[in-house]
């Protein structure tokens, strides 16, 4: 019985003029375009320098800053006021003031002090820009060294690629089954199925299994692209990733089917699904680290299944964690998955 239903799902899928293309196009778009666009890396910070010291040391510092790829040296101001005006006109982002006696203090072994003023309207640029700047300055005097583990070149793309894979799986395997079931409702075909002996579990499985396979398929494409374009290969074994993805697809399809069971029109299903997608994405740590959210938001995020998958996939992709090490997020995912799928079966009404 199940095999006939699955066969039907695939025939319908391939006969659709749009969906197969979407399923191919989606991972390509997401991996080719977005890692470049969705970057938090700051470049081209416009900088004004007020050098009051005019010393050997200060000039060396300026040269070092100029050599950095993060900064674009905008102009040499005479006074702080002049520089401030430039900030107001949005000509520069950061002012660096090197005081008189900068060199002298250094030679005397006192900590060298410079003043950094950043335009924080674009908080990210101001914040990161000034910390990059601080690093360059500290290098002169200090001996602190930072080593970035797991993503040695601090390549933001490496950080985003696994996250984008999550988003892709979420959208394809969550949305499509929901829309699929609701369109069966709208066409009236679901009634014909309801009047047959097909039971709830079989029906739900017949909607779930195709998306499992589709999910694995797009994930494989995405991993291939990540390797070809960014040279990023998973640090853990592929099997770990597929096991985790399998559990994740099981979960999101369950969520999609549950939503569709409560929706009577496509409009409604779309709207509700979107609502959850946005909340879950924003609270998953996909863009912003969960750790830096306020306490209350963190406790809400603990109920967000997506958070565990983002955690999982970054751990296995970048850090190379083994299956045992990712036991906790996987366990949580599986728990949520079972919960939602039981709900999906329970909320599917063959009889009104």
CB distance 27 to 168 below 8 Å? yes
Q: How many residues bind other proteins (CB under 8 A)?
A: 25
From the CB of residue 48, how many other CB atoms can be counted at a distance below 10 Å? 23
Does 352 bind other proteins (CB under 8 A)? Our answer is: yes
CB distance 153 to 31 below 8 Å? no
Q: How far is the CB of 176 from other proteins (least distance, A)?
A: 15
Q: How far is the CB of 352 from other proteins (least distance, A)?
A: 5
DSSP alpha helices (H): ranges in 33-150? Answer: 34-37, 56-67, 80-88, 102-107, 123-141
Rounded to 10 degrees, the C-alpha dihedral 227/228/231/234 comes to 0
H or E segment at 227? helix 200-230
Distance CA 151, CA 27 (A): 23
**Residue linked to tokens 């950043």:** 118
Candidates 79, 115, 140, 189; binder of other proteins (CB under 8 A) is 189
Does 192 bind other proteins (CB under 8 A)? Our answer is: yes
Q: How far is the CB of 117 from other proteins (least distance, A)?
A: 58
Does 23 bind other proteins (CB under 8 A)? Our answer is: no
Distance CA 211, CA 249 (A): 8
Does 18 bind other proteins (CB under 8 A)? Our answer is: no
Rounded to 10 degrees, the C-alpha dihedral 137/130/45/54 comes to -40
Q: Which range touches other proteins (CB under 8 A), out of 78-86, 121-129, 331-339, 344-352?
A: 344-352
Does 152 bind other proteins (CB under 8 A)? Our answer is: no
Does 188 bind other proteins (CB under 8 A)? Our answer is: yes
Q: Which range touches other proteins (CB under 8 A), out of 3-11, 246-254, 296-304, 307-315?
A: 3-11
Where in 196-225 is the site for other proteins (CB under 8 A)?
196-199
Q: Which range touches other proteins (CB under 8 A), out of 1-9, 107-115, 125-133, 243-251?
A: 1-9
From the CB of residue 183, how many other CB atoms can be counted at a distance below 10 Å? 16
Q: How far is the CB of 14 from other proteins (least distance, A)?
A: 10
One-character DSSP codes across 85-97: HHHHTTS-SEEEE
Candidates 56, 63, 239, 351; binder of other proteins (CB under 8 A) is 351
Q: How far is the CB of 21 from other proteins (least distance, A)?
A: 16
Residues that bind other proteins (CB under 8 A): 1, 3-5, 7-8, 11-12, 15-16, 187-189, 191-199, 350-352
């Amino acid at each position: 019985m199940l095999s006939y239903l699955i066969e039907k799902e695939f025939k319908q899928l391939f006969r659709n003029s749009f969906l197969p293309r979407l399923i191919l196009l989606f991972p390509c778009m997401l991996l080719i375009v977005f890692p470049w666009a969705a970057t938090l890396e700051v470049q081209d910070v416009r900088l004004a320098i007020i050098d009051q010291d005019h010393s050997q040391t200060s000039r060396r510092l300026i040269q070092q800053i100029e050599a950095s790829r993060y900064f674009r040296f905008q102009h040499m101001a005479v006074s702080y006021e002049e520089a401030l005006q430039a900030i107001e006109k949005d000509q520069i982002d950061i002012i660096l003031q090197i005081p008189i006696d900068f060199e002298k203090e250094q030679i005397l072994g006192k900590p060298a002090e410079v003043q950094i003023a950043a335009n924080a309207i674009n908080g990210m640029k101001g914040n990161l820009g000034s910390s990059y700047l601080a690093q360059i300055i500290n290098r002169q005097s200090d001996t602190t060294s930072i080593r970035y583990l797991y993503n040695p070149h601090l390549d933001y793309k490496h950080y985003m690629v696994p996250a984008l894979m999550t988003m892709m799986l979420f959208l394809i395997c969550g949305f499509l089954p929901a829309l699929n079931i609701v369109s069966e409702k709208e066409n009236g075909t679901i009634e014909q199925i309801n009047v047959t002996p097909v039971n709830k579990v079989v029906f739900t499985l017949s909607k779930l299994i195709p998306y499992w396979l589709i999910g694995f398929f797009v994930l494989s494409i995405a991993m291939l692209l990540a390797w070809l374009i960014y040279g990023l290969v998973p640090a853990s074994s592929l099997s770990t990733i597929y096991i985790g993805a399998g559990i994740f697809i099981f979960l999101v399809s369950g969520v999609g089917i549950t939503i569709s069971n409560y929706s009577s029109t496509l409009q409604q299903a779309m709207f509700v699904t979107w609502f959850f997608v946005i909340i879950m994405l924003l609270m998953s740590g996909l863009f912003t680290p969960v750790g830096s959210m306020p306490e209350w938001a963190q406790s809400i995020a603990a109920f967000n299944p997506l958070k565990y998958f983002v955690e999982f996939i970054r751990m296995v992709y970048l850090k190379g964690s083994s299956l045992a090490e990712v036991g906790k997020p996987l366990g949580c995912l599986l728990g949520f998955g079972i919960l939602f799928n039981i709900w999906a079966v329970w909320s599917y009404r063959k009889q009104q």
